[in-house]
Amino acid sequence: MPLAPLPPTDTRRFFRPVAVELTALLRDLPAEAWDRPTVAGNWRVRDVVAHLVDVSVRRLSFHRDRYIPPAPPQPVLTERDLVIFINGLNRQWVEAAGRISPRMLIDLFEFTTSALADFTEAFPDDGTALFAVSWAGEERSEGWFDLGREFTELWHHQAQVRDAVMAPPLGDPAWLHAVLLIALRGLPHAFRDTRAHPGQTLTIEITGPAGGVWTLERTDGGWTLWAGQDHADTARVTMSDDTAWRLLFNALPAERADKLVTRSGDPGVYGPLLRARSVIV
């Protein structure tokens, strides 16, 4: 497959079915399951669900309703400042949600994600972004990329819940494929400090029904992500679609990633992929 530019990834109609699937799962959970740990740090299942309510409320308030949020208590001047600020917002909400029952959390999740789906489905093709996608190193993003980042938030957190309660993964590979298409766009930024000569390439092969093949190419101006592969690649990595989302969304311990990601070629070129994240951490 020759190299080709990546087209925009439209996730607008994926929010609703993924949220509906998670709502159905949550309504069947036994009481003890709400306190099970997840891979999301110290968050339990109930904390992850509360966080998803929060991100829907924020998106609807700030984007749909054009509400101007309170200013950060400290200036956000660096990526580290942003991480601290976002983590603080998340922590405040999750702590307050400790007073909310599982039944109420489900009702809130169902209501807010339905409203969010109404908004995304009506969002125009050329809509502007509310927020730049920081993990991709952008200061200004296209609207589809901003919404795509929002969709990856919903998808990977629902996957964390499914893992914690030992539920099967979602059945439609198109949803995970869209998540990977959005997440991979963070790689040029993740590789920004990698030393390589112009023309050197990393082929990324993701197997499974949601997978594909992409190429990260070093150019004079930095790194560029392409669809397809360069048969004269400098390095190559291969992993399953399940491993890929776990790696890029900080849900895969380093020792497991080392075993699950097959690598060949120049280690200096493929090395940064194991540290790449398509989420604010």
CA dihedral for 89, 92, 95, 96, sign (positive or negative): negative
At 190, the amino acid letter reads A
Determine the topology of domain 187-275 in CATH.
Answer: Nonspecific Lipid-transfer Protein; Chain A (3.30.1050)
Q: What is the pTM of this model?
A: 0.95
Determine the topology of domain 15-170 in CATH.
Answer: Four Helix Bundle (Hemerythrin (Met), subunit A) (1.20.120)
Nearest by Cα to 151 from 111, 190, 121: 121
Task: Supply the pLDDT for residue 281.
Answer: 65
Q: pLDDT tens, position by position, for the chain (281 residues)?
A: 689 999 999 999 999 999 999 999 999 999 999 999 999 999 999 999 999 999 999 999 999 999 998 888 888 888 888 889 999 999 999 999 999 999 999 999 999 999 999 999 999 988 999 999 999 999 999 999 999 999 999 999 999 999 999 999 999 999 999 999 999 999 999 999 998 999 999 999 999 999 999 999 999 889 999 999 978 889 999 999 999 999 999 999 989 999 999 999 999 999 999 999 999 86
Domain boundaries, the chain: 15-170, 187-275
Burial 242-251 (b: 16+ CB within 10 A, else e): bbbbbbbbbb
Task: Supply the pLDDT for residue 5.
Answer: 96
